[in-house]
Amino acid sequence: MFEIIAMLTMFIDHLGAAFFPEQIWFRIIGRIAMPLYTYGIVQGYKYTRNFKRYLGRLTLIAVVSQVFYMPLFHTYGLNVVFTFLVCLLLLKYHDQTKSKLKYLVIPLVACGLEIGDFDYGIYALILMLIYQVNKRIIWRHNLLNIIYFFLYGWQVQLFSVLPTILIKKEKNRLLSGKARLFYRAFYPLHLAFLLLLSKIF
């Protein structure tokens, strides 16, 4: 269920960003998508039987998506799947490394998410950690949004706590079979579709 909501709201968000940037309601609806995808990544990390294969699949999605992401949004920044990849590697490094040096390395790499213009940057990493710890997630997500509101004026992002409430209150029903494959391919596919529309109209 979460996957279907994530796909629909992301499509609405990117449709608005590409064609109706003055219509804020597209972006408000779109705030639902990113937390659901972040939660999905955390669950994938937790339950995957082959981390390298999981990482490889995400890398393929990130690279293919970037081809459409840059011309569609007129940016040289990296799409959010690249951000998820870095966050996953940091989670793995944290879980497998006993050295206290990791408490220096992880913040430094996290800063690189901002310097390197990764979509959502450090915000994505913090949200991923909130879901990974899985305690008081609504309160912590609200706090994260309030901090970003005061630091960067992210007003619309305040709505992103709504999917966290859904995650807390409802049990997800995972897609399977061909529906699961479609979910994995949806990010680059919808970007390609929107880019095609932008060329036509």
pLDDT digits (tens, 9 = 90+) for 149-172: 999 999 999 999 999 999 999 888
Whole-number pLDDT of residue 176: 83
Angstrom distance (rounded) from CA 158 to CA 155: 6
Say what percent of the chain tops pLDDT 90: 85
What's the CA angle centered on 86, arms 138 and 82, to 5 degrees?
95
Dihedral sign computed on CA atoms, order 12, 66, 78, 132: positive
* Residue 174: band (very low, low, confident or very high) from pLDDT cuts 50, 70, 90: confident
- pLDDT tens track for 127-143: 999 999 999 999 999 99
Q: Is residue 175 within 8 Å of 49, Cβ to Cβ?
A: no
Q: Is residue 18 within 8 Å of 194, Cβ to Cβ?
A: yes
Dihedral class, residue 136 (left if φ above 0, else alpha if ψ from -120 to 50, else beta): left
Based on the number of CB atoms within 10 Å of its own CB, is 128 exposed (0-12), middle (13-18) or buried (19 or more)? Answer: buried
Dihedral class, residue 117 (left if φ above 0, else alpha if ψ from -120 to 50, else beta): left
Dihedral sign computed on CA atoms, order 122, 42, 75, 61: positive
Whole-number pLDDT of residue 100: 84
* Residue 146: band (very low, low, confident or very high) from pLDDT cuts 50, 70, 90: very high
Angstrom distance (rounded) from CA 186 to CA 190: 6
- pLDDT tens track for 5-42: 999 999 999 999 999 999 999 999 999 999 999 999 99
* Residue 173: band (very low, low, confident or very high) from pLDDT cuts 50, 70, 90: confident
Dihedral sign computed on CA atoms, order 59, 159, 157, 88: negative
* Residue 98: band (very low, low, confident or very high) from pLDDT cuts 50, 70, 90: confident
* Residue 99: band (very low, low, confident or very high) from pLDDT cuts 50, 70, 90: confident
| pTM for this predicted structure | 0.94
Arithmetic mean of pLDDT over the chain: 94
